[in-house]
Every structure is written in structure tokens, then in C-alpha cells.
Chains A and B, each alone.
Chain A
Amino acid sequence: MADVAAGDRAAFATLTRRHLKRSLALAQRVVGNAQDAEEVVQDAFLGVWRHAEGWRGGEASFSTWLYRIVVNRSLDYRRRRGFAPLEEADDLPAPAPDAYAAVAERQLAASVDTAIAALPDRQRAALSLCYYQELTCAEAAEVMQVSVSAMESLLVRARRVLRAKLQPLIGPSGEES
């Protein structure tokens, strides 16, 4: 980052390459689609470049800082674009009786995508950080600038909503079938 702060474009390219895929995946999950995620991530990295001079910290905290930028920009992006909130999102279609055998994995994934996309923004961001980015609750809490207990609460609510939404697919008990 010191080189980036000094205006070293090659160092910035290296830094960007190192964090790009995870940032894209995070933005994709929070924003809801790949195309918008790319725009968000571009903005985020340009923000890193512009503000690198003021950066003080190590590589671990850089990830936290970067994820914070990506999450905040993703949430802003959704707000500006007026994405439908949870209550307006469509319910998942009920699976056909032979769904478990017949529905392709891609379609199942699309159902999960739909359920995640319908989560409130902060719950979706929390889930993305902890589940898809594999951060601990404490790390994710730092990214989102909330307490660890607040992060746990966001996650619990997110997973409960998902469980309820996916219940037709998961099965009545939630146990593996």
C-alpha cells in the first residue's frame, strides 16, 4: 500500500489483482447481479487509489477496509437504484412433487439466489461477508462497523429468513433428506 500511496500504478495493479475476485464475489452477492457488481468494484478500487495516501495499516486491515468500501458502495448502489425490498420480492415457486430429483442444480441455485437477493440489504451483506467471504463474525462486524452481537443478530435473522424461504426445498425438518 505504501507503493500505491506513492502513486505506483504497477503496485496498484498487483493489489487490485490480489483482491479483485473476492471483491467481485462480495459485491455480486450484495448488489444482486454481476454487471452492477463490476461497476461497484471498479468504483471501490478507484476509491482505494484516490485515498491510498491516507492509508495506515497492514494487509489484514486493508482487506477489512476494502470490504467495507465494497459493502458500503454496494448498499449505496442498491439504494440509488431502488431495488425491491423484502416484502415486494416474489416468493419462491413451489417445487413440483418430483422436484428433488428433476430440478437441475442450476435451478436450485437460482432459487437460493432469489432468496438471498430478497434479504434486507444489511442481512445480505452480513451473510456475504461471513459465509461467502469466510470472515469471522468479529471481522465482518469490523467491516460493517457494528458490534459482534449485532453482526450475530443480522446473521441469525438472515439465515432464519432463508430457511423459511427455502423450506419447500429443504424439507420440513431442515434435516438432510
Chain B
Amino acid sequence: MNIDRFRHLAEACGAEIERWPASERAAARALLAASEDAQRALGQARVLDAWLDLAAPAVNDADAERVLAAIERRLAPPTTAWIPGAAGSTRRSVWSAAGFLALMGVCGFVLGQFELVTLWRSTAPQESGFTALVASSSPSLAWDQ
């Protein structure tokens, strides 16, 4: 290694020879031990390093945690916001359907009980309310008649 290369590396990589290319470190140290020019070049690099150290970005734990939380929030797929709602909607739908069926059952029972509507004339003996409810709630039974 000559002094020009040494200066170049000191200028590029700073005074910490450990950060220099691994293949050139031994030669650099040898030159440093023998050359005042090399020592001067390293000294200048060290001064600039010290100034750069003043401006080392500091990231505290609170900042990191805040960013972590923000990433977590953004990571949630856009569907997440409505997934719980959607789950609720599903539950609501089930209950709505059950309520609707129950209402229809009651209507069918009432209609059948009081013979307000006659869908077909059965020749069988008078059915019980429950049988009518099942029959009126089962279109396939009615359509099969």
C-alpha cells in the first residue's frame, strides 16, 4: 500500500481501520507504523469522525415503540376493520334469519290454527298446531302436495 491509497481509504472510510477493506488492513497498519504522512492522514480523518459522531442519529425506545405500533396498525389488512363487523353481521344475520323463521312459524301457526288461510284442503283429521307449523314452514312439503 502506498500513501495515496492510505489517504484515499482514510478519506473514504474514516480513521477506524477496522472499517477499511479487510484485504488492505494489514498493509495499512504497517504503513501507519512507518509513515508520518499516514499518521497525519489518519489524524485528520479522526477529527472529522469525531465531528460526525456529534450528529449520530439517536433513536430512543419510545420512538421505536411508536413506529412499531404504527407498523402493526398498518399491517392489519384493510379488511380487518370490517372483519369484526362482518363477524357481527354474520351473527346478526343468523339471529335475523332465526327470528324471521320464528315469526313465520308463529304466523303459520296462527293462520293454521284459525284457518284464516287454507293452502290446501287436507282430508286428514285436523292437524295439531305444531304439525301445521312444520308443514307451513316447509315449502317443499307444500309444493309437493
Whether chains A and B associate is yes
Q: Which residues of A lie under 8 Å from residue B56 when comparing CB positions?
A: 25, 132
Interface residues of B: mostly helix, strand, loop or mixed? Answer: helix
Q: B21 to chain A: which residues have CB within 8 Å?
A: 136-138, 148
Interface residues on B, range: 35 or more
Nearest-CB residue, chain A, relative to B41? A174
- A13 lies within 8 A of B52 (CB): no
Which chain A residues in 21-62 approach chain B with CB under 8 Å?
Answer: 21, 24-26, 28-29, 34, 38, 41-42, 45-46, 49
- CB-based A-B contact count at 8 angstroms: 119
A-B contact pairs, 27 of them (CB 8 A): A12-B75, A17-B64, A24-B67, A25-B58, A34-B57, A42-B67, A42-B71, A42-B74, A45-B71, A46-B71, A112-B51, A113-B55, A127-B52, A130-B14, A131-B14, A132-B52, A137-B12, A137-B20, A148-B21, A152-B8, A152-B13, A155-B13, A159-B14, A160-B11, A166-B48, A175-B43, A175-B44
Give chain B's interface residues, CB within 8 Å of chain A: 8-9, 11-14, 19-22, 40, 43-52, 54-59, 63-64, 66-68, 70-72, 74-75
